Copies of this chain bind each other. A is one copy, B any other.
């Protein structure tokens, strides 16, 4: 069995919490249910859930207290589910540290999507993709293979690392010293000549016209900018 992500449901109405539990179990999550603040906080500490669903109106106090307590020690996504439609309630909950605010009655399907979104953010922070695509260029991180329009390019290790760094920072200006530090290592910040030489040889391999580069663009006095347009707008 796969390990499931755990969701802490904080809700005093058994009807709703049972319904939530049913839906979320269907979606493949594990659930723990708290019916009041005290038990919610204890379950949070004990179980370290991946996501918290929180109803604000609880018998022993305002749910915002829980938000505050959780935020003081973790970034666990908190999705508030509430019947309180008042604007200042929503704002207060969000500003206390909630990630999202869903109004009752809510759609189970939408809630699932919002849970997925919260999860994705948590994971997506370090996007560990297998390959990076920039225009005609495809770089496979694992296999160290770079291809341009179906043809495999023959890059040396340093060239590959440099290109990888560029492709991981598309459309941003990166300074000479930054590139040198990231690709060659600390202590190489001033070896500009390395960078020039390797940019030169990279251009020869990836650019259509190396004398008029369209990928590696030099930013005079600063560094380089890797231009990348993944344009699917024109199509579909």
Q: Tell me the A residues contacting B by CB distance below 8 Å.
A: 37-38, 41, 45-46, 48, 60-61, 65-66, 68-69, 72-73, 75, 87-88, 90-91, 94-95, 97-101, 107, 109-110, 112-114, 116-117, 120-121, 124-125, 127, 133, 143-145, 156-157, 170-173, 219-222, 225, 228-233, 236
Q: Which residues of B contact A60 (CB under 8 A)?
A: 233
Q: A157-B221, A172-B48 are in contact. Are A73 and B230 (CB under 8 A)?
A: yes
Q: Which residues of B contact A230 (CB under 8 A)?
A: 69, 72-73
Q: Which residues of B contact A41 (CB under 8 A)?
A: 231, 233
Q: A73-B171, A173-B144, A222-B144 are in contact. Are A233 and B37 (CB under 8 A)?
A: yes
Q: Which residues of B contact A232 (CB under 8 A)?
A: 65, 68-69
Contact in complex: A228, B109 (CB < 8 Å): no
Contact in complex: B87, A110 (CB < 8 Å): yes
Instruction: Give the number of copies in the complex.
Output: 2
Contact in complex: A172, B143 (CB < 8 Å): yes
Given A41-B231, A144-B222, 11 other A-B residues pairs in contact with their CB atoms under 8 A: A68-B232, A69-B233, A75-B125, A94-B114, A99-B121, A100-B117, A101-B114, A143-B222, A144-B219, A156-B220, A156-B221
B91, B156, B171, B172: the one within 8 Å of A109 (CB):
B91
Closest to A171 in B: B45
Q: Which residues of B contact A107 (CB under 8 A)?
A: 87
Summarize A's interface: helix, strand, loop or mixed: mixed
Q: A69-B232, A127-B75 are in contact. Are A117 and B144 (CB under 8 A)?
A: no
Q: A65-B233, A109-B87, A127-B75 are in contact. Are A117 and B133 (CB under 8 A)?
A: no
- Once the chains are docked, how many angstroms separate the CA of A90 from the CA of B229? 27
Nearest CB on B from A42, distance (A): 9
Contact in complex: B133, A72 (CB < 8 Å): yes
- Once the chains are docked, how many angstroms separate the CA of A215 from the CA of B97? 27
Q: Which residues of B contact A231 (CB under 8 A)?
A: 41, 69
Q: Which residues of B contact A91 (CB under 8 A)?
A: 109-110, 112-113
Contact in complex: B220, A157 (CB < 8 Å): yes
Contact in complex: A143, B173 (CB < 8 Å): yes
- Once the chains are docked, how many angstroms separate the CA of A41 from the CA of B229? 9
Nearest CB on B from A213, distance (A): 14
